[in-house]
């Protein structure tokens, strides 16, 4: 789907198994002290953006290609995420276009264009996505598509400029479509994936009240970006960075 929530379909299946017991009363994840969190709300100002995305935890250099893999109950799921040279104007902001293709056992299941932009402080905003789902080469849906400024959708923050442990923020916000949230859990994780080992990684816990029980840990390496996703119970799903090509 996106750099911040790859292989959401598999995660939804996991969430069904976990059920409502995995959520707090406010739709947040259970077992997490939300009272200790700090809700971060940054005003959206279209005049306060820059022309590139170089946040160290979420760099988007045009021409970069990320490759990921996950072992699922249905087979091997791979994703190729390409930071394109294209831009899309949304709410007066020139957003970087990222193209994400997901394949299951070699067959295309999702084709998505995501839109990101960075403000002058270094926060990376998520302005929406155009996503399509396929079965046997046939388009079967556009679930999860949204664009900031349309149908009540608002821009969210995918990565803070200066994340601190306890920071909690809205990543996506489109009524009835997406409502993803994240909380910073750590800034000093060591992560090993097929592409390599990384220190001082940022760890977040992501969840959404629209899919009770679904929650994921995500790990972002400085200077690289997203390197790993895991489900918090037993590592049933593990999405790993396998390749990175830079321009």
What confidence score (pLDDT) does residue 214 get? 83
pLDDT tens string 57-114: 999 999 999 999 999 888 999 999 999 999 999 999 999 999 999 999 999 999 999 9
Torsion 170-40-188-162 (CA) sign: positive
Alpha carbon distances (Å) from 161 to 123, 151, 167, 177, 220: 4, 28, 11, 26, 13
More confident residue, 23 or 213: 213
Q: How confident is the model at residue 23 (pLDDT cuts 50, 70, 90)?
A: very low
Q: How confident is the model at residue 11 (pLDDT cuts 50, 70, 90)?
A: very low
User: Looking at the domain assignment, is residue 24 inside a domain?
Assistant: yes
Q: Is the pLDDT of residue 12 over 70?
A: no
pLDDT tens string 112-151: 999 999 999 999 999 999 999 999 999 999 999 999 999 9
pLDDT tens string 170-210: 999 999 999 999 999 999 999 999 999 999 999 999 999 99
- DSSP assignment letter at 53: B
Beta strand pairing status for 167-170 and 38-39? parallel
Strand segments (E) across the chain:
38-39, 65-72, 75-90, 93-104, 107-118, 124-135, 138-141, 146-147, 156-159, 167-170, 181-193, 196-207, 215-221, 225-230, 238-245
User: Looking at the domain assignment, is residue 1 inside a domain?
Assistant: no
Beta strand pairing status for 93-104 and 138-141? unpaired
3-class secondary structure per residue, 121-160: CCCEEEEEEEEEEEECCEEEECCCCEECCCCCCECEEEEC
- Number of Cβ atoms within 10 Å of the Cβ of 83: 24
Q: Tell me the sheet residues that pair with 156.
A: 126
Q: Is the pLDDT of residue 238 over 70?
A: yes
The CATH number of the domain holding residue 211 is: 2.40.360
Query: DSSP secondary structure string, 81-109?
Result: EEEEEEEEEETTEEEEEEEEEEEETTEEE
User: Looking at the domain assignment, is residue 201 inside a domain?
Assistant: yes
**CA max distance for the chain:** 47
What range defines the domain where residue 239 resides? 8-245
User: Looking at the domain assignment, is residue 107 inside a domain?
Assistant: yes
Q: Is 113 helix (H, G, I), strand (E, B) or coil?
A: strand
- Total domains present in the chain: 1
Beta strand pairing status for 215-221 and 93-104? unpaired
Beta strand pairing status for 124-135 and 138-141? antiparallel
Return d(Cα 163, Cα 129) in angstroms, integer.
24
């Amino acid at each position: 789907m996106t750099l911040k929530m790859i292989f959401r379909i598999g995660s939804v299946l996991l969430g069904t198994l976990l059920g409502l017991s995995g959520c707090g009363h406010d739709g947040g994840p259970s077992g997490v002290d939300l009272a200790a969190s700090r809700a971060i709300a940054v005003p959206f100002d279209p005049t306060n953006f820059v022309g590139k995305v170089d946040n160290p935890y979420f760099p988007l250099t045009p021409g970069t290609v990320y490759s990921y893999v996950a072992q699922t109950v249905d087979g091997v799921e791979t994703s190729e995420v390409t930071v394109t040279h294209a831009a899309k104007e949304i709410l007066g902001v020139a957003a970087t276009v990222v193209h994400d293709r997901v394949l299951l056992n070699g067959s295309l299941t999702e084709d998505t264009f995501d839109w990101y932009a960075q403000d002058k402080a270094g926060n990376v905003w998520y302005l929406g996505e155009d996503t399509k789902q396929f079965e046997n080469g046939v388009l079967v849906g556009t679930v999860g598509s949204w664009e900031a400024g349309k149908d009540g959708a608002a821009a969210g923050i995918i990565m803070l400029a200066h994340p601190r442990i306890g920071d909690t923020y809205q990543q996506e916000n489109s009524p009835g479509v997406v409502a993803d949230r994240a909380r910073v859990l750590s800034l000093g994780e060591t992560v090993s994936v097929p592409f390599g080992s990384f220190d001082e990684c940022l760890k977040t816990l992501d969840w959404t009240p629209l899919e009770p029980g679904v929650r994921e840990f995500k790990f972002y390496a400085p200077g690289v970006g997203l390197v790993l996703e895991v489900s918090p119970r037993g590592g049933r799903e593990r999405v790993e960075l396998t390749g990175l090509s830079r321009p």
